[in-house]
Structure 1
Amino acid sequence: MKKIAVIGSINMDMTVQTQRHPKVGETVAGHHLSYIPGGKGANQAVAAARLGGDVTMFGCVGDDIFSGRLIDNLAKNNVDTRHIRSVSKTSCGIAMITVAQKDNTIIVIAGANQYVSREYISQEKENILQADIILLQNEIPFETVAYAADMAWKHGKTVIYNPAPFLPVPQNFMNKITYVTPNEHEAALLYGEDQSIEQMLEKSKGKAIITLGDQGAAAWINARSVFIPPRPANVTDTTGAGDTFNGALACGLSQGQTLEEALRFANTAASLSTEKMGAQTGMPDRAAVARWMPAHAPKI
């Protein structure tokens, strides 16, 4: 089994449930508040580890009341936390999430995540390069993401880049990515809003894996658009579904699955994750995904 390194954010998610999302200037009543470990990087690490991946997390926490809990939670989920750096006089990253009407809105405060720097990656280079698959996102400084991608590319690693939150990136960066995993909105920003899914996939030269929410996912494989059908879900909370997909994709590839198999595996895991509250708390284990796999073969 290949090793996975996740370089990214570690947050505490403050999740409030309410009947509907407030309009600008409006106050609505919430009926439940939860503190749930999150952050796109940590979420993807937990998703991959819970599914059986060999995962090491690289990132930063602050020195506030959340730091110990965040690291302990990763360790409890079998993620190697030895290389997480603690930054003094700094708060941990925070995500403020409102859940209503089977969807969510999120505001992220970077906190210690802004200290995931080039210098930190350089110092951890030997440890990072022990992994075969490098998983990246945009909740740490992009300068760091680009530096890590370049380092991984030079050493022949598989680089999975989740372009969220979205920001424009140079083409020379994209040339070093093995797979990019935008949702449909992010794909339109990357490849053009006038493009169909099939045109986006072809334009990406096989790099793009587009997640389509309750429509499943799509990729360009063997010169064809392959659409992975969704698993029917009784949706409770979509928070973390994309992170589950990315972690599961990395896990599947690390365990020798073909790209089609890994996509089916990831799509099923993401669907299952929407049936529980919270990002990490909703992530399934391998047994749960395996029970659904036979019925969800790829459609071309």
Structure 2
Amino acid sequence: MAGPIISVVGGLNMDLFMETDRMPGIGESVDSRSLSMFPGGKGANTAIAAHRASHSKPRGDTKGGSDEGSIRVFMNGAVGSDSFGGLLKAKLKGEGIDISGVSTIDNERSGTCVVIVETELGDSRNIGYEGANLKWALPDPNSVGCLAGGARPDLVVAHLGVRREEVGRVLALARQNGVDTLLNPAPATSLDRSTYQNVTHLVLNETEAALLSGRDRDRLHSPTGWQEVAQDFIRSGVTNVVLTLGARGAYYSTIGGERGLVKAEESISVVDTTGAGDTFVGNYAAECTRQRQLGECDISKAIARACKAAARTIGRLGAQEAIPWADEIDR
């Protein structure tokens, strides 16, 4: 039996990683310990995370994409006609992601991101070039099936790695057709307030919450601050708000009045935080989809599994390569 479908809309990038003992100051140059190249992009990372969330790690010649009833993931985005574009599509296809919704834009470069990792703390800083990502457009404004190869998705996940106008169209189209939506507003940018009326799940961090709500970030460090900002979005039309808090876990609030803090995993060795947020979003999306198929609705359970998955990610270098499989999360 075919499994449920998650359609992801977002960016695809090639990430160039450099490890350094410390970040350079203004006008200063420092040497990098290493240089690595990994496929990335928030949309692509989330698609892989959602797929792996319901598949065990491949063993030998087996693939992690043939489990009966497991979640099927469709990626929607754009790459350039350069060498990076071919590599990005091949990586997703090899992971078991349907890439029929990934366009190749002629005479354009693929999105590229330089990631500098400070080895002592595991913190990272990114500089990105969006390239072809900004050329993606909704293929058919009248059919939500265009995001899933003609099938009806069970959940549409959107990032702001493509033009926000297109994200708005995607969310509106999904809700008009009774399909649940998840918005992760990253990279953060201002949004039309009407966008939130089409969002079932809003998953964002403290920086994004402060920017989009207009609140002072320093006031978002307590349960009172978390609840206040969550209510801002709920009043704007969001059904469920999940505020990710790094090492503290995640706070949630729903239109039905549920709220609470789900603590993060403890005693985690931090190697690289890149991709942790995307892993959280992909696993949260997969768990919400699984629950809906079973007629369940436990947002705290979905957050708890997403926290476990994100904890596995930060213990490894890279984004997609560090994303855990289902058996690695649950062991």
The interval holding the TM-score normalised by the smaller chain is over 0.9
State the AA in 1 paired with 2:91: N
**TM-aligned CA deviation for residue 219 of structure 1:** 0.2
Aligned with residue 273 of structure 1, among 305, 309, 313: 313
RMSD over aligned Cα atoms: 1.6
**Aligned twin of 1:71:** 89
CA shift digits 1:130-168 (9 cap, x unpaired): 211001111111111111111111111111000111111
Q: Which residue of 2 aligns with 1:152?
A: 174
Matched, 1:126 2:170: no
Gapped runs of 5+ residues in structure 1? 292-300
2:41 aligns with 39
- Within 2, Cα distance between the matches of 1:89 and 1:65? 12
Alignment of 1:93-242 (within 5 A): 93-100=111-118, 101-118=121-138, 120=139, 122=141, 125-128=144-147, 130-191=152-213, 192-193=215-216, 194=219, 196-205=225-234, 206-221=239-254, 223-232=257-266, 233-242=268-277
**TM-score, normalisation: structure 2:** 0.84
Q: Give the deviation of 1:127 after TM superposition.
A: 2.8
Are the aligned partners of 1:50 and 1:78 in contact in 2 as well (CA < 8 Å)? no
Q: Aligned pair count?
A: 290
Determine the C-alpha separation between the residues in 2 that align with 1:207 and 1:134.
Answer: 15
Match of 1:59 among 57, 61, 77: 77
Structure 1 residues 22 and 30: CA distance shift in structure 2, 3 A:
same
SS at match of 2:16: strand
Shift of 1:2: 2.4
Cα distance in 2, alignment partners of residues 218 and 8 from structure 1: 24
CA deviation profile, 1:228-258 (whole Å, cap 9, x unmatched): 1111211100000000000111111111163
Q: Is the 8 A contact 2:275 2:320 kept in 1?
A: yes
- Unaligned residue ranges in structure 2 (runs of 5+): 55-70
SS at match of 1:91: coil
Deviation of 1:125 after TM superposition, in Å, equals 4.2
Distance 1:123 1:75 in 2: 27
**1:83–1:124 Cα contact (<8 Å) kept:** no
Partner SS for 2:204 = coil
Task: Please name the residue that 2:12 is paired with.
Answer: 10
Cα distance, 1:212 vs structure 2: 0.4
Distance 1:230 1:202 in 2: 23
Cα offset, 1:123, TM superposition: 8.4
Distance 1:285 1:123 in 2: 35
Q: Is the 8 A contact 1:241 1:271 kept in 2?
A: yes
- Alignment identity in percent? 30
Aligned equivalents of 1:220 and 1:63: distance in 2?
43
Aligned partners of 2:308, 2:246: CA distance in 1, in Å?
A: 12
Letter in 2 for 1:204: F
Give the drift of 1:224. Answer: 3.9
Match of 1:85 in 2: 103
Whole-angstrom distance in 2 between the partners of 1:72 and 1:188:
37
Residue 59 of structure 2 corresponds to which residue in structure 1?
Answer: none
Distance in 2, Cα, partners of 1:197 & 1:121: 38
Distance, in Å, in 1 between the alignment partners of 2:126 and 2:142 is 32
Contact 2:141/2:173, CA 8 A, preserved across alignment = no
Distance in structure 2 (CA, Å) of the matches to 1:124 and 1:115: 20
| Residues 1:285 and 2:322 aligned together | no
Give the Cα separation in 2 of the matches to 1:175 and 1:289. 33
Counterpart for residue 66 of structure 2: none
State the AA in 2 paired with 1:32.
Answer: S
Q: Is the 8 A contact 2:122 2:272 kept in 1?
A: yes
Give how far 1:198 is off. Answer: 2.2
Change over 3 Å in CA distance of 1:198–1:126 after alignment to 2 = closer
Is 1:121–1:144's contact at 8 Å kept on the other side of the alignment?
no
- Compare 203-212 and 168-177 and name the one that shifted more: 203-212
Task: Provide the C-alpha distance between the structure 1 equivalents of 2:154 and 2:179, rounded to a whole number of angstroms.
Answer: 5
Alpha carbons of structure 1 residues 123 and 13: separation in structure 2 relative to 1, 3 Å = farther
Greater alpha carbon shift after TM alignment, 82-91 vs 244-253: 82-91
Whether the aligned pair in 2 keeps the contact of 1:61 and 1:84 (CA below 8 Å) is: yes
